[in-house]
Amino acid sequence: MNRLKAGILFGGVSEEHPVSVKSAQEVARHLDTGKYEPFWIGITKDGAWKLCDGPEAGWEAGRTVVLSPDRSVPGLLVLDDGKYETIGLDVVLPVLHGKFGEDGVVQGLLELSGIPYAGCDVPSSALCMDKSLAYVVAGNAGIATPNFRIVRAGEEVEGLTYPVFVKPARSGSSFGVSKVSGREELAAAIETAAQYDSKVLIEEAVDGSEVGCAILGSGPELFAGEVDRVALSHGFFRIHQEDNPESGSENSTFIVPADIPAETRARVQETAKAIYRALGCGGLARVDMFLTGDGTVVLNEVNTLPGLTSYSRYPRMMAAAGLPLPDLIDRIVAGTAR
């Protein structure tokens, strides 16, 4: 049987570079090399592309490689001493997070190259990356969203009801996010968020539990993983901010399946599917939501290339639904046809 030539992108120039490398390491541990011939393409923090043996230590010393923009040569150009060799690819699996990974940029490059790739397409990736635009589209589809406004650094803001959350509108994880309890904290929080994005989002604090749902597939038939709930001991949930996330978070644990009634669980899953469809998602995404005391499900954000590390929520939710990571990878790759 001919193995599928799979290019696996990891690393990247965003703040989530280390998480991406860990995700790729987990993929490497579970990838069926009887089915796939992997070509590991690491992107350094400076943006250099390196063809390497895998995402282990020292991968940055790999050979220089670029993605061919020529559709007649759909694959990689490996550069060496002024010469190049070509490597054809059947599919690309981006294991990238944050800016230049799940915001439509690399997806556009792959579209130009004509190589099938896993995950959401250009429009849905860009839309989900911008939380304010995602709220507008989801709200017009009848889905509950937080009240919000957009500001710029140095702008005077009046009329807020505290507490509020201040965050970069287009950034991943919890980088640059602050919970603001009063006006005297607002300016500093806006400046912090502006370090990650010129567009800053101020949104109301939703009184409810944080829940999530992993979604897989495209079209009318979607597979939903088990719902999880983020149990907080104090503060607010700050994903990927821990020094050693493998050992757990200092203020949060994940309950999978979520300790909520079956009827509520089904409502969360159906709302996640509705959000996924409204935003045009395909392939995979993790939909994060709030569950309020009266049972309302409110959109928080959508992660179009969620983490695949040993401690990440997406693979945990899928495993709890009977889809372990090797099978999950197969399903993700199988959904790349466009």
Give the Cα separation of 27 and 186 in Å (integer).
40
| Active-site option among 12, 17, 22, 227 | 22
Give the Cα separation of 40 and 20 in Å (integer).
13
Please name which of 218, 231, 282, 237 lies closest in space to residue 257, comparing C-alpha atoms. Answer: 231
| Active-site option among 156, 246, 263, 293 | 246
240 labelled catalytic: yes
- The number of C-alpha atoms within 13 Å of 198 and in the hemisphere containing its C-beta is 0
167 labelled catalytic: no
22 labelled catalytic: yes
DSSP 3: P
What tokens were used for 190?
């806006």
The residue type at 198: S
| Active-site option among 15, 16, 19, 36 | 19
Peptide bond into 163 cis (omega under 30): yes
Among the residues of 172-324, which ranges form H helices?
Answer: 186-194, 262-278, 313-320
Maximum C-alpha span of the chain: 65
97 labelled catalytic: yes
| Active-site option among 99, 167, 273, 286 | 286
29 labelled catalytic: no
234 labelled catalytic: no
| Active-site option among 199, 240, 273, 313 | 240
Please name which of 224, 201, 68 lies closest in space to residue 147, comparing C-alpha atoms. Answer: 201
192: number of Cβ within 10 Å = 18
184 labelled catalytic: no
246 labelled catalytic: yes
| Active-site option among 17, 97, 167, 229 | 97
| Active-site option among 15, 307, 316, 333 | 307
Give the Cα separation of 332 and 141 in Å (integer).
26
Phi, psi of 285 (to 5 degrees): -170, 155
| Active-site option among 36, 135, 276, 311 | 311
DSSP-assigned beta bridge partners for residue 93: 8
What tokens were used for 220?
């009318």
- The number of C-alpha atoms within 13 Å of 252 and in the hemisphere containing its C-beta is 20
What tokens were used for 164?
């509020």
Place of tokens 């350094």: 44
Please name which of 161, 152, 153 lies closest in space to residue 205, comparing C-alpha atoms. Answer: 161
Supply the residues annotated as catalytic. 19, 22, 97, 240, 246, 286, 307, 311
